[in-house]
Each structure stands twice: as structure tokens, then as C-alpha cells.
Chains A and B, each alone.
Chain A
Amino acid sequence: MSQYRRTKKGRVDSRQQISFSFDGKTYQGLKGDTLASALLANGVHLVGRSFKYHRPRGIMAAGSDEANALVAFDRGEARVTPNMRATTLELYDGFKAQSQNNWPSLNFDVTAINDRLSAFFPAGFYNKTFMWPKSFWDKVYEPAIRATAGLGPAPKAADPDKYDANYTHCETLIVGAGPAGIAAARAAAKKGGRVILVDEQGELGGSLLSAPDQKIDGQPAWDWLAESLAELDAAENVTLMPRTTAIGYYHDNFLGLAERLTDHLPEDAAEGPRERLHRVWAQEVILATGAIERPLVFAGNDRPGVMLASAAQTFLNRYGVAVGEKIAVVTGHDSAYKAAFDLSDADIEIAVIVDCRAQVDQKLIAEAEKRGISLRTGHTVTATKGRHRVKSITINKVNGDQVDPAGETLECDALIMSGGWTPSVHLWSHSKGSLQWRDDIAAYVPDKPNENAICVGACNGDFGIGAAMAAGAKAAGGDHTFDVDDTWPWTGAGTLEILPTHRDESRIKAFVDFQNDVTAKDIRLAVREGFKSIEHIKRYTTTGMATDQGKTSNLNGLQIAASALGRPVPQVGLTTFRPPYTPTTYGALAGNNGGAAFDVVRKTSIDGWAEEHGAVFEPVGLWRRARYFPRDGEDMHQAVAREGKATRDSLGIFDASTLGKIEVVGPDAAEFLNRMYTNPWTKLGVGRCRYGLMLGEDGYIMDDGVIGRLADDRFHVTTTTGGAPRVLAHMEDYLQTEWPDLDVWLTSITEQWAVIALNGPNARKLIEPFVEGVDLSSDAFPHMAVRECKVCGIDARLFRVSFSGELGFEINVPAHYGRALWETLYAAGQQYDITPYGTEVMHVLRAEKGFIIVGQDTDGTVTPYDAGMSWAIGKKKKDFVGKRSLARPDIVAEGRKQLVGLMTKNPKTVLEEGAQIVMTPNQSIPMEMVGHVTSSYWSETLGHSIALALVADGHDLKGQTIYVPMPDEMIEAEIVDTIFYDKQGEQLNVF
């Protein structure tokens, strides 16, 4: 057992030795240790290098407020978690961790030269340095800074762990299992209803775990704790959740609880998910989140061996570890005395207690005297020494405003400090509860709630254990008061300012934010440079912006800024608390939505066939669609040319299942469609189809599709692939809220029907043998007709429609028959060289015909007039959605962008979609842009490129030459009609 272990103290089990490794060196710890306590027990204080200056850093806290001791937690190559606090990592046999942010080693870090060069890293360093030259941003500054400053690297391999998530409801959620939280839980358990008690630590008990000599109702605290937890554990309505952090508190008492399930277990014992995120709705929330001790701000306060007084107390009482053999104390708050006395009573030498206050409680003085501890009130610490661990401190007397320059140097191997306590109001603030400033404790405390929540104990600014427990019980409807001896003085606002010093303050480093290396000097510089808002000062200096979100530094920084501004703290405000309370893994947030479930891919019933036949896919909306089917060695260009030609020459087969489909049914169905679409529907005969154009109320094109009338009161409406949900919602909106008198039912049937499109001169010949009961001749079943029939014996809706300009059919069958029908048609189609084609050819063929794609050739500001589709508007209709807007002054004004065709002068040149268009080539930059290319393809059929474009007043510019400026050339093109192929539509009626 090492010289620093106190085997009679603590809750660790001295019979259970465990070995662990840090930076490749093996050490011994005890069951119950954290990495921090075990390292300290081995006399290791130096555990990391600071973010900016690479200064040696040690362990400053004992819990999740730790700002310095960030390590890489190593559970195997893909399981390294960087930036974990050594104080919250529970030790197990075989535990491994490494220090980070140092090169080549922790003890010798070459980038520590940054510390010597710190004059070049003032507040706002990044903002200032990145000013000039701009070209250096990406190439020089960014990589250099990333390389030398920073936190641990993330593993490169995919995370092999599983994460889980669930939703939970409860009547009472209690956050924090310290004395107040446990008292609340016991009362809530008696009251009834579901109770959840969470605590971020592996062991429940909070501050009681560090206070073994406390008595509660006559019992030693640890006995009381064990009994209380056993009682809660036995209660059926109570769920105890250790290792669970309430990371965020949202509207309607909705909280996120991140539960760590396996990180504390040896790897071979870790089963099931690593973490589980509980999303909890609670009827009432009791926050018993405690308080965080503040460091003091003085020169050299970041040296390894300098830590919070309460941390030293916890390491001793809970883990049986002495953080030093000769410990100095510096404080502005009574609580540090208790820490000093606990250490002294464990036979650890207290070198001195330095209190920056002139007056302290007589009882404290007497207790110090009793232990023979030298007490210096009205003193300050002006320097610390020691390369990798504090070796001595210099203390000076303070007379009024003057610091006596004659200092006294005292040897020590640890320095513990207390600047007072900051109530943990983080969650309260997430919930938008308001705060008020309390001068007597120099901290913000909860004021008015915004949710059904209450703060009890230290997080409410009530520091006595007995009072906290009574408040906890009362909050949960109990009336128990506790007999607790907590007559210890607990006063002192603490000291938020930099400790007085006789030294030149511009030459010393007194750290405020340890993790981001922000000093008091930086904050004052920011104020001198004109920053007045604390939110700006925070961003300029980066104070409070590290992974600890300034748990230990915010109030010190705020006070120093307030003093520099010459205003009281409440007038300077407070920066916003944001979730998560502590860093949370992406795995926990992703939960089950990882891997294939991250973004679920919608596939058609024919997708598997496409995959087996080598399709290249593309995402369209939430769907994946086959883009083209390359044969041996073909690139996309070659495959598309072949597929398109085969379709125009003979027969192509295309999976159109993703088309949105809505069934519109009811006596008023036709009238409803009259109102929703620009076209007239009343006179459309049963068995006929019509192209439908849908506008928003603003008059802009929203969607389009073919609509077939299956019966007087039944329409099969198709929409764009991506637009289906939007169109259905739009229809429902008008039906429910504007015309509830219409008797119409809307049903999404997108998923119910698989759709196979057959296009090409041989389309009819292929399907004829399979279709029952329909005469497919052009006279009986003309273009834009629909029949319900059987195809291959399957109930089908057969459409004669064409998006390619060729003779075309779309066969709808129940989705689960899709692939079977596809395979049958594909086999039978071999005699016609049937060719499967993808969305790329579909796009080319429709562009050759000048058919628009909503969302590609339109952008939400294109009217039917702009698109050259006035023909789609029912002239006799009195009203439809968007009609009135078509008469708005801006819609009928000149200069609107209109859809035109483009033919490049060089037929081989294919324009880039999105390219800008200008009228004359020799303009100075910026040129006057008159439009842009919306669709552009190589047309194998026509032997030249084709494009569609939106051009200002384009309809009047047919035959004019326009120019498309590109980085390396100026492309010339002529404005032409939008229909490039078969202007008469003869191909639709081949027999």
C-alpha cells in the first residue's frame, strides 16, 4: 500500500486490489477507486497538459466538475473515448487510460513552448490572428492550431458498441442522490406514484459519501445512507438510477437521462448496451443537484497539486487517499477549514491555512489552534513553485488595499483552495427557471420556476445538511425533519476576484478557466478592448466554452469582468446554460438509430431485383431509386445512352413505384379536385386521365401528376415522388378546415401499389397477352386512359400514360406482387430486347419532351405562366387554390423568369445544371444574371445536348443567343422551344 493510501479511511475495499494502466505504466488501485483517486494514491498528480499553453496540469476536483484531468479512456482501439474526466472514471481490473494533448510525452511536452510564448496568445488570439491574410485561414492557421492546441483525438474506427433509448413517465423525478435528494425520494416513495432518483455517480449518497462523521437522526451518516437506500430499493414505486446524468431539462418537465451501463465493468463482463438514454416526462421534478466549489484565482493556481479543498476532503474520506503529506490551504470560505481539519485528524500535516478574510469565526480559530495549525487571516497567495507538482507557495500579508511585498515562502506538496460555492442551477436554467443574485454567498440561486420544479439543498443556496434534507422531504410532500448536527460554520461569500497581489498583474498567469487556459488578464484585456456584454466576453476569451462549460470558472470570470467594467455582477448578467450538463457520447444521443437505422432507406418491392442486376442507386426523397443499370465496363454516360435509345427504339421497363399516390373518394371528389388543381375535373370521363397541376395559395407550382378517374366518385391521384406527404397534408388542410362540408375521403396509397412503367414502340405488344378484359387498341384504350383489370391474374390499375413521349403504360399492382410481375414482364420482353432503365434516363426522356420536374425546373417561385403551362388552367373555373394569386401585380409583371429550352452552339457541350445565364459575354464582373439552367443532358436520340432554363422574359426571346459564363470558357447557346423531340406527339400512338 502506498504512502498516500489511508486504509482506515474511505469506502474503497483494501482487500480488493486491482491493477490498471495509465500512459502505459501499471499501477495498483482498490475497488471503489476512480482513476483520479487511484493515481493520487500512487502519488501521481501530473495527468495532462493544458489546451493552449500545454502547461502541466493535475487533478483539481473529485467529481464531474473536473476541468484539468482529461484523459483518453481506452477500452480497445475503436473504443477509445477522449476527454473523459479522471475523477468520474470508475476503476476495474485491467482499466486503461492515456494522457492527451502532449507530444512526445506527458513529462516532456515540446509544445509547452506555447507557455513561454503566451504573450502571443492573448484574449481573442484566434479572432485577431485569423484577420489576415485570408488565404492563411484554411491552409496555415487552422492546421497549425489544430495540431498544437486541442483535446484528445476521436477514434477512427466505427464505434462497435450498442446504445439504447427509451421513453419513461413518472410522477416524481429527483435529480441528485445527496442528502436532500434521498430525503425527497423517501418522502415521495411514501406519497406514492412512480419515483425516479438519478445520480451521475456510481454510488448514491452525494456529499454524505465524503462525510462519514456526520450524524443523521442519531445514526452515522453512512449507516443512515445504507438504510435509506435499502428502503428505497425495496419500494416498488421507486427506481434508483446511479451512473445516470440528467443532461438536459426541456419543456413540459421533459428530461434526458444518460445512463452509463458498462463503462465501469471489465470488458469481458460488459454485456448489452453501453449507454441508454431515457427520455422522461415527470409530473414534478425535484432538483437536488448540490453545489460546486470554486477555485481561487491567483498566480500559479493551475499547478499540479493545487486542488479544491472539498476534493481533497473527498479523496480522503471517500477514497482513503491523502493528496499530499504537507498540505497548504488557501480560502475565502469557512468550508475549507473542515477539509483542513479532516486532513489534520488523519495525521496529514497542514502547512498553513491562509484566509484572505481579515475576520473569521472564533470556533474555526479555536479548532485550528487545537490542532496546532498555523492560521494566517488577512493574507494572500502570490505565487506557487514546482515544475510538475507544487513544492512551495508564497504568501503575503494584506493591509487594506496594500499587499506587503515581503512574502513568506512555505513548503508544501499540495495546496487546497476554496473560493466559496456555486449552486448547480444548470438544469433549473435549462427549464427557463429564473435566477436571483445573492450577495451573501456571491452566487446566483433559483428564483421563479417555469416548470413544475423545485430546487432543494445546496443547489438552492441552502448549505446546511439538516435544512437541505428537510427541504427535500417537504418538496416531496413529507414533513419529516432530521436531527442533524451541522453546527459547523458555513459562511463566506468566498472570493470571486483575483486574489490581491503586489506583482504586476499583466505578467502573471492566474487562471480562471483551466480547461480553455483563460486567465484573469485575458478577461480584463477583453473589457479594455471594448467588450461589455458577458456573452461577448465569453466568446472573445473563450472562458466557460470548454467541455466543462465553465462549471468552476463562470462566476470567477463574471466577477472579474464585472470589476473591470465597474458594475455589480447582477448588472453584467450570466451566460446561458445549455444542455448537456456534462459531455455526452454521440452514441447515447443516437441510441438505436445507428448504422442502417440511422436514416432508414425506403425501398420499393422491385428494389431487390435492381440490386441483383447491378443498379447504381440514388436517393430521391426518402427513397432509393435505381439511377442506371451499367453493363460490363459502362460508365453512366454510356449506360444512359444505351438505355434511352433502347427505350425509344423498342422497349424500356422502369420501376415507378415511388410515385406518390392518393385515392380521392366521395360524392364531392371531383369538386374537391376542381378546387385543389388548376385543371377542370367535372367533365373528365370515367376511365380517363388528365395531367393535374397543383398550386400553393400563393400561385406558385407546388406539385403535379396524372389523375385517373376510376368511377364517378373515385380518383387515383399521383404526385411527385418527394411531394406525396406534402400534397396529402395540403389536401387534408383544405378539406378539414376550409371545406368540411365536402364529402370526400383522402387515403395515401403510395405504399399499396407497385408501379411498373413500360415505354417504347413495343410496349403494347409486350403487355397485351397478360392483360385480361381490356381492349388495348388505341381506339378503345387511348392515350390518357385508365382501367381496373387483371394483369397476369393480379388485380391491377392499368394506365396508358407516358412521361417519355413514347407509347407508354403504367401497371399498378398490389405492392407485394410488384417483383413477380416485373420478372414476368422482363422474361417475356426479351424478344423485344426489353431494357431496364433508371431515373437518369427517365429524366433525359422527359426533358427531350419538355416535361418539367417540379422542384428541379421549378423552385417555389414559378407560376404556370412562367412554366409555359397556361394550357393547364381551367379558364372557366371560378376558383381554385392559387387562382387569385395569379392576378397579383408581381405575378403578371414583366421581367419574370420563364421556362425555355436551350441548345448550345457546340452540340457536344452539356451545360451545368445551376449555371447562370447572361445576355452579353463582355460584361465586367459581377455580370447581370438573367436566369439559370435547371435541367441539362446529353440527348443520344437527338445527337446533341439539351437544356431547360429559367430566363427573364424568356418566352419572348426565342431564337436569341445567350451566354453561360464558366470558369474556363464562355458557352454560347440559343433559346429554343422546350419540346425537343417529336413535337407532334406521334410516337404516343404507334401501333
Chain B
Amino acid sequence: MMLIECPVCKEKRPELEFRYAGEAHIARPEDPDALSDQEWAKYLFIRSNPRGTHFERWVHAHGCAKFFNAVRDTVTDKFVMTYKCGEARPSPEQIAERQS
């Protein structure tokens, strides 16, 4: 079982306390009606599903109940870092630094 650092609680806690919540940094459009069907379908259904670095959302369901973002490597299944909702997507340099 993985240990996941909750950026709100600032503690590493067992995976059991958390729930995965899909890819991160996909903002709901301000005015959905302004989107074409294709654009809306892209927002709704299309995800990057990368091999390697993945930006994703987690929620500390059995803890502070806060959603947060994480960088996880989908090959090694290792968490590189976690950060609060609203914070910018970490740069490749920041990620590389954490991985080293």
C-alpha cells in the first residue's frame, strides 16, 4: 500500500484514506454553452492517459476531505509530489528535481 502525502494535512498517510479523482488541470469551461459539441466532448471524455508523468487529482476522503493534485509516474506507480488545488502545474524541471 502506498503512502501519499496530503498537502493540506502535510502528512504521509496510507493509500486507504484516499480516493483517486481523475486527471488534474482540466478546468470546467466558464460557459459550456459556448462550446461546440466536439469541444464539449473533448472536455468531458478525452484524457491524456500518458505513459510516465501523470498529473492527477486525489481526495483525502478519510482525512481532511480536501481534493489535491499529484504528480505520479504511471510506469513505476510512484508519487513524485503532491500540491494543493489551484497551484500551478509543476514544471518538468521541478519534477526532475524531485525524481533525482
Contacts and interface: CB of A to CB of B under 8 A. Distances in A.
A7 to B, nearest CB: 49
B77 A736 contact: no
A712 B84 CA distance: 32
Interface stretch (B46-54, B57-65, B88-96): B57-65
B19 A729 contact: yes
A737 B19 contact: no
Given A729-B19, A736-B85, A885-B44, A252 B67 contact: no
A377 B66 CA distance: 71
Interface in A717-740: 729, 732-734, 736-738, 740
A110 B29 CA distance: 75
Contact of B76 (A279, A450, A884): A450
Interface residues of A, number: 27
Nearest to B33: A884
A697 B35 CA distance: 14
Interface string B15-43: 00001010000011001110101001100
A134 interface: no
A884 B67 contact: no
B35 A737 contact: no
B13 to A, nearest CB: 11
B40 A252 contact: no
A76 interface: no
A729 B2 contact: no
B41 A879 contact: no
Contacts of A733: 21, 59, 67
B3 interface: yes
A610 B59 CA distance: 37
Contacts of B59: 729, 732-733
B32 A889 contact: no
A279 B3 CA distance: 13
A740 B85 contact: yes
Interface in A610-659: none
B40 A254 contact: no
Nearest to A880: B32
Those 8 A-B pairs whose CB atoms lie nearest each other, nearest first: A884-B32, A251-B2, A252-B2, A736-B67, A254-B1, A738-B28, A252-B3, A737-B67
Given A885-B40, A888-B37, A888-B40, 9 more contacts: A167-B14, A279-B1, A432-B76, A697-B28, A729-B61, A732-B67, A738-B27, A740-B86, A889-B37
Interface string B63-81: 0011100000000111000
Nearest to A697: B44
A10 to B, nearest CB: 42
A664 to B, nearest CB: 15
Given A697-B44, A740-B86, A879 B37 contact: no
B28 to A, nearest CB: 5
Contacts of A740: 85-86
A251 B32 contact: no
A250 interface: yes
A284 B86 CA distance: 34
Contacts of A697: 28, 44
A808 to B, nearest CB: 34
Given A737-B57, A737-B85, A738-B27, A884 B1 contact: no
A449 to B, nearest CB: 11
A238 B37 CA distance: 64
A732 B40 CA distance: 23
> Which bracket fits the contact residues of B?
20 to 34
Contact of B44 (A254, A698, A879): A698
A281 B3 contact: yes
Contacts of A139: none
A15 interface: no
A884 B21 contact: no
A878 interface: yes
B1 A251 contact: yes
A737 B37 CA distance: 24
Nearest to A889: B37
Interface string A735-762: 0111010000000000000000000000
A883 interface: yes
A733 B61 CA distance: 11
Contacts of A884: 32-33, 35, 40
Contacts of B41: 888
A254 B37 contact: no
B1 A252 contact: yes
Nearest to B79: A252
16 contacts: A167-B14, A252-B1, A252-B2, A254-B2, A279-B1, A281-B3, A732-B67, A733-B21, A734-B28, A736-B67, A738-B27, A738-B28, A879-B31, A883-B33, A884-B32, A888-B37
B32 A883 contact: yes
Contacts of A885: 40, 44
Contacts of B86: 740
Contacts of B19: 729
Contacts of B40: 884-885, 888
A733 B31 CA distance: 19
Contacts of A432: 76
Contacts of A878: 33
Contacts of B66: 736
B65 A732 contact: yes
A734 B27 CA distance: 10
B37 to A, nearest CB: 6
Contacts of A879: 31-33
Nearest to B86: A740
A250 B3 CA distance: 11
Interface in A237-296: 250-252, 254, 279, 281
A888 B44 CA distance: 11
Nearest to B21: A733
Nearest to A748: B65
Contact of A250 (B1, B32, B35): B1
A816 to B, nearest CB: 24
A806 to B, nearest CB: 39
A167 B77 CA distance: 22
A736 B19 CA distance: 15
Contacts of A883: 32-33
A697 B61 CA distance: 21
Contacts of A729: 19, 59, 61
A697 B76 CA distance: 32
A732 B68 CA distance: 12
A738 B86 CA distance: 10
B54 to A, nearest CB: 15
A100 B2 CA distance: 41
A888 B78 CA distance: 38
Q: Which of B19, B32, B37, B85 has the most CB of A within 10 A?
A: B32
Contacts of A887: 37
Contacts of B85: 736-737, 740
